Structure 1
Amino acid sequence: MIAIGITGSFASGKSFVLNYLSSMKFHTFSADEFVKNVYKDQFIQQQILNLIPELKVFDKIEIAKLIYHNEKIRERLQNFIHPLVIEALLAFKQQNKDDLLLFAEIPLLFESHFECYFDLIVTTFCSEQSRLERAKMRVNFDQQIYDYIETIQLPQDYKIKKANFDINTDINLIELESQIRKLIQKCHEYARNNNRY
């Protein structure tokens, strides 16, 4: 089994790539989707309220505002959430251990030092203008939060250099699909070269 981590800056196309791979019948894991589901658990909600007394009621928008304006609160929440993500990721890998290729989307992969959980890493990227335009199309877009995310995430160029592969999402759909298929081919080559079949 080869575990491939997908990362990239905010609104760089990570989810599109992951969803495309899922449509090709690969098993996939999304850290963002996992956290969204965790937030629905009332026990977890209460733990977060205890962890962040500044939060009067559990509200994801208020959480975002707090963590992106207060580094200590952000670290507190990350120290609570990240072990849950790691546990879920390891369970995902164990459940699908007989698969040749597994793909997981981890937005803060490098920032959170999750490299050790993957054999290969892919960085998605596009122009800053495209990322901002995509972000503005999302529900509850907040320019201040977007700007703060930019300050805590590593630059795109750094992530591209650190990754084994990169995918440019600033192109038409046909070319983007072609890049993803080439990625799959390269992952198979890696598996063959490392006797992982």
Structure 2
Amino acid sequence: MRKIALTGGIATGKSYVAGRFREAGAPVVDADLLAREVVLPGTPALAAIRKRFGPDAVRRDGTMDRIRIAQIVFKDKRARLDLEAIVHPAVIRAINEFFSALPKRTPFAVADIPLVFETGREKEFDAIVVVACPRAMQLQRLMERNKLSREDAEKRLAAQLPIEQKVKKATHVINNDGSFEATNAQVDALIASLKSKQKSG
């Protein structure tokens, strides 16, 4: 089974492409959802967060105080890196557990993982699919989707690895700068290619 990482920039249409993979019957796991699951009450990751950030990092009901943690890591880069060092490995372990639980005859499975390059995890996958669109389109989509000013949208984009750099590192690129039909055709062709490689391998 080939392990595929699906990534892209904010507002490039990665979630849409992930949905297309699901519609085609491909197993897809969402790293953002896993990032919430790995810090649920009783998990080792939440215990590590409490140890690093203090008892105030956990609410009375035993869940992580996301607002407080966000306030801390927004102001303190070291704290953000420490949080990522706790959460990201736990997410990767959960992704690998998802892959391992699939039938061995599964041609490929997809991990929807926004920060695969930023966390240096790209070598753990057999292929990297990047969903891309021109930066001006990305900016406009982000402003409309999140109701942000141009300045705030620019800041969000600046916090991520530029999409151009992700495209250079990709094994496959989905250009999501046209119609839904055009994007669907690219995804469907990629799915067919991944299935044929599995058969020939």
TM-score category of the 2 structures, normalised to the smaller one: 0.7 to 0.9
In structure 2, relative to structure 1, the CA distance for the partners of 1:78 and 1:142 (3 Å cut) is farther
Tell me the residue number matched to 1:68. 74
Cα deviation 1:3-58 (Å, max 9, x = unaligned): 11111112221111112211222111111111123344365555424322496554
**CA distance in structure 1 between the aligned counterparts of 2:88 and 2:21, rounded to whole angstroms:** 24
Tell me the residue number matched to 2:171. 164
Tell me the residue number matched to 2:53. 52
Q: Is 2:124 the partner of 1:117?
A: yes
Tell me the residue number matched to 1:88. 94
Letter in 2 for 1:129: A
Letter in 1 for 2:32: D
Paired residues for 1:1-197 under 5 Å = 1-41=1-41, 44-45=45-46, 47-53=48-54, 58-98=64-104, 99-137=106-144, 147=154, 149-193=156-200, 195=201
In structure 2, relative to structure 1, the CA distance for the partners of 1:157 and 1:54 (3 Å cut) is farther
Residue correspondences, number: 194
Q: Which has the larger radius of gyration?
A: 2
Structure 1 residue 115 displacement after superposition: 1.6
Structure 1 residue 64 displacement after superposition: 3.3
Letter in 1 for 2:111: A
**CA distance in structure 1 between the aligned counterparts of 2:83 and 2:199, rounded to whole angstroms:** 40
Give 5+ residue unaligned stretches, structure 1.
none
**CA distance in structure 2 between the aligned counterparts of 1:157 and 1:55, rounded to whole angstroms:** 40
Retained in 2: the 8 A contact 1:26–1:101?
yes
Give 5+ residue unaligned stretches, structure 2.
none
Letter in 1 for 2:133: C
TM value normalised by structure 1: 0.83
4+ runs deviating over 6 angstroms: 139-145
